[in-house]
Chains A and B, each alone.
Chain A
Amino acid sequence: MSGKKPVAAPVKATPKSSYNGPVVVDPVTRIEGHLRIEVEVENGVVADVRSSSQLFRGLEIILKGRDPRDAQHFTQRSCGVCTYTHALASTRCVDNAVGVKIPKNATLIRNLVLAAQFMHDHIVHFYHLHALDWVNVANVLNADPKKAASLSNSLNENRKESAADFAAVKDTVKALIESGQLGPFTNAYFLREGGHDAYYLPAEADLMATKHYLDALKLQVKAARLMAVFGAKNPHTQFTVVGGVTCYEAMTEARLKEFTDLYAETSAFVRNFYIPDLLAVASFYKDWAGIGKTTNFNACGEFPEDEYDLNSRFLPQGTILNNDISKVYDFDPTQIEEHVKYSWYEYGSPKHPYAGETKPKYTKLGDKEHYSWMKAPRLDGKSTEVGPLAQVLVAFARGHKPVVDAVNYVLKYLNVGPEALFSTLGRTAARGIETLVIANQTQVWLDEFKANIASGDKEIYTEWEMPDEAQGVGFVNAPRGTLSHWIDIKKGKISNFQLVVPSTWNLGPRDDSGVMGPVEEALMGTPIFDPMRPVEILRTVHSYDPCIACGVHVIDSKTGQTRKFRIL
């Protein structure tokens, strides 16, 4: 990660217009799923926001009455971007319900595949879903390839890029523009006639980022393969089962070597490209350290040693309130409730996931009182953000050394204080920090796995019996944040299944008290330069890496009692 700091201009004043009126972004692209953002702009600044999910699928209704073992396959289809995370949450949830203790190898294999998912997901997010909010591809035509090469190589000692490499990318962009068929870049905001003032990068930095956008497209194929080596395929892994995993092949020399080599290549890309690029781009956009602030955070932690003990996770669980990182509280899932006042459901008072009752009731688009298929989850009544920023803040507040070191490095590089973390820029930086810390730790898990096999332990599955009645919960701190699956088994079948999903926490609507969800809160006060091309809205929305298909659920259960579960 070592490298020279680029000389950045002083912090810019974020440009804004004098526009007054509504701005609607629908579809929000470069996300998973269907999201509509409606804002009201006053004198060029966002004064009101509604985050509106546009799809309802009804997975929980579909799950009722089915075999609990099958839940993971259904829930994994919540999302093919954060694939595996739901399969893991459901499997942990049923493991918990039936009370099976899985072998050490199974935990390690599940962790290794999840680590690969984090690396893949966050690399793709930064380069392919988020970068075009900050990088002006058209500006590449004004870049000097030689200067781009020296800029890039100055950022990291392991980079050996030549002027010819950058000239070739410049030619690619030129050919694409001249062909008149711009494909995915058609009507991009940065193509605005007269330029788009909200894009600040020097041409050489734009060229560098564009080249790495293309390089990352190739690299992510390998990161996905890394998951498939043990997990069968990506998207939609097929190797977890209640009681462990099925991939005996993972313990063969050939598969271990394949995993080791792909991991080396993927983690090197994280260290040598993703993180230095993130910091270089961030250093030009430091004004965004003051935009996109939210208040409360929760994380359930991830990468367990003991699947049932939230406190055995490598990244710790916790809750941060009122932007105060001097205190960190335990994450208490008994305090989760979901509100529906502003959603397209018949009204009911806030309920814990085990005890809700909901009926879809659509009104219309543009209704300010009912405007989303998502519900509004709250923790102890508070709107809390989940995801990389929440996980990094919790770990930082708990003094988790790898996270503390990475955060301090980033703050020093950008010459900002910890308060800068509470922003769109901080959220995007935290995603990189999380990736780096996980990428480094993966080596430890891989070595542990190899040592365990070498010691003669070849167990990956524990036999178990399906009880007649049981309840269970599974937590995954997914790349997008806190994910929990809740099951109630009666007569050996699913009587109720609930998903409380990261994007619902982050992108859900107002609650019963009218308090906004995190993305709504974060968008307030954002300056807008061009209401036809509101890239500023995309920056903050994309900083959450939304996954809308996950977030859309309906609770359709009989009122039950909140069960006491042993997780802390």
Chain B
Amino acid sequence: MKFSVSHGGDKVEERLAKAGVSRRDFMKLCGTVAAVMGMGPAFAPKVAEALTSKRRPSVVWLHNAECTGCSESILRGMNPPFAELILGVISLDYHETIMAAAGEMAEKALHEATHSEHGYVCVVEGAIPTAEDGIYGKVAGRTMLDYNTEYVNKAAAVIAYGTCATYGGVQAAAPNPTKAVGVREITDKPVINISGCPPNPYNLLGTVVHFLQNGIPELDGEGRPVMFFGDSVHDKCPRQKFYDEDKFAESFGDEGARKGYCLLHVGCKGPYTYNNCPTVKFNQTNWPVEAGHPCIGCSEPNFWDAMAPFYEEA
């Protein structure tokens, strides 16, 4: 299916302004996305161009076995608020957490969006329960397995957003009672994995920008965009200098903890975890290690089993 995008259509700014998005806010957002993508500030106009097609790209967001934290990360985590841009930049045609319609009228919206000639980007949140033909999770009377297979396979592009959609997440931790899996297990289509529990929303927006401009970005062995997941958390950690000096917290109450020393000995999984938390941060302000808590490795496959116990040195 063809996906229509025409960059920098007519009267884009006017349309954004009408949608309550100021040019200043919009360019600020584009600058942030450019920075997260590892580009200089000069790249911001390119981001802006990608995000302002004539017809707003349609996005269909599916919820499965999840906690809605991934949706929340988008709503709560971006500044200027990405939610505002929903009205001006994309057309969020199906998203159970925020859509006005419910029941049959919601299903109708999903049908219209997924049968439109213009195509759609499918973002998947949550794992897909596959045990006993998928009975452990249903939406509108259909198993999530059935429902995701159809809408993922029809999409112009598929993004698995969050550790549940990418690798199965918490419900897939041993013994995985519902045989929950990530999206790649149910389709042969290329799926871009943006992991994290929750992920950083800028990693999603950066991926969308890259996709609109140059197609699928370079992915690592776990299907994640290298530009966001190329370095370990430890590599970029501001506390790395203490690691180099052999200065560690040995408990959460000792002098090392008070002084902000390296948390490796109280369980930090930063050296084994690939993500950009230390540089991009969350909610524009903080991230676990800065709050004195070890990284639990939440963007790695199978982290609930591989990284636990979380408070023991690996």
Binding site for B on A (CB under 8 A): 24-34, 36, 54-59, 61-62, 66-67, 69-70, 73-74, 77-81, 83, 120, 124, 128-129, 132, 137, 168-169, 171-172, 174-176, 179, 181, 183-190, 214, 217-218, 220-221, 224-225, 227-236, 238-239, 241, 243-250, 258, 360, 362, 365, 373, 458-459, 461-463, 532-534, 538, 549, 554
Complex-state Cα separation, A463 to B254, whole angstroms: 9
Measured between beta carbons, the chain A residues less than 8 angstroms from B292 are: 239, 245-249
Binding site for A on B (CB under 8 A): 15, 18-20, 55-56, 58, 63, 65-73, 75-81, 83-84, 86-87, 90-93, 95-109, 112-113, 129, 132, 135-141, 169-171, 173-178, 180, 197-198, 251-253, 257-258, 260, 282-288, 290-293, 296, 304, 308-312
8 Å CB contact of B79 from A78, A168, A221, A362: A221
Measured between beta carbons, the chain A residues less than 8 angstroms from B93 are: 181, 183, 186
B98 touches A249 (CB 8 A): no
Which chain A residue has the least Cβ–Cβ distance from B116? A181
Which chain B residue has the least Cβ–Cβ distance from A235? B69
Measured between beta carbons, the chain A residues less than 8 angstroms from B101 are: 29, 186-189
Complex-state Cα separation, A36 to B106, whole angstroms: 13
Which chain B residue has the least Cβ–Cβ distance from A83? B69
A81 touches B286 (CB 8 A): no
Complex-state Cα separation, A120 to B77, whole angstroms: 13
A228 touches B283 (CB 8 A): yes
A246 touches B285 (CB 8 A): no
A184 touches B95 (CB 8 A): yes
Measured between beta carbons, the chain A residues less than 8 angstroms from B129 are: 55-56
Q: How far is the CB of A155 from chain B (nearest CB, A)?
A: 22
Measured between beta carbons, the chain B residues less than 8 angstroms from A225 are: 283-285
Which chain B residue has the least Cβ–Cβ distance from A135? B100
Measured between beta carbons, the chain B residues less than 8 angstroms from A258 are: 285
Complex-state Cα separation, A230 to B87, whole angstroms: 32
* 17 cross-chain CB contacts under 8 A: A25-B102, A26-B140, A29-B99, A55-B138, A57-B171, A61-B177, A67-B308, A67-B310, A70-B311, A73-B310, A79-B69, A81-B69, A132-B100, A181-B93, A183-B92, A217-B84, A228-B282
Supply 10 further A-B pairs (C-beta < 8 A) apart from A81-B68, A461-B257: A56-B136, A62-B175, A69-B309, A70-B309, A73-B310, A183-B93, A235-B69, A239-B291, A245-B292, A248-B257
Complex-state Cα separation, A73 to B294, whole angstroms: 12
Which chain A residue has the least Cβ–Cβ distance from B78? A221
Measured between beta carbons, the chain B residues less than 8 angstroms from A533 are: 105
A74 touches B304 (CB 8 A): yes
B286 touches A228 (CB 8 A): yes
Best-surrounded residue of B80, B81, B108 (most CB of chain A within 10 A): B81
Q: How far is the CB of B79 from chain A (nearest CB, A)?
A: 6
Best-surrounded residue of A31, A57, A61, A225 (most CB of chain B within 10 A): A57
Q: How far is the CB of A384 from chain B (nearest CB, A)?
A: 25
A188 touches B100 (CB 8 A): yes
Complex-state Cα separation, A74 to B67, whole angstroms: 11
B102 touches A232 (CB 8 A): no
Which chain B residue has the least Cβ–Cβ distance from A223? B76
Measured between beta carbons, the chain B residues less than 8 angstroms from A34 are: 63, 137-139
Best-surrounded residue of A34, A137, A230, A244 (most CB of chain B within 10 A): A34
8 Å CB contact of A187 from B84, B106, B282: B106
Measured between beta carbons, the chain B residues less than 8 angstroms from A229 are: 285-286
Measured between beta carbons, the chain B residues less than 8 angstroms from A463 are: 251, 253
Best-surrounded residue of A124, A137, A462 (most CB of chain B within 10 A): A124
A56 touches B141 (CB 8 A): no
Measured between beta carbons, the chain A residues less than 8 angstroms from B175 are: 61-62
B68 touches A32 (CB 8 A): yes
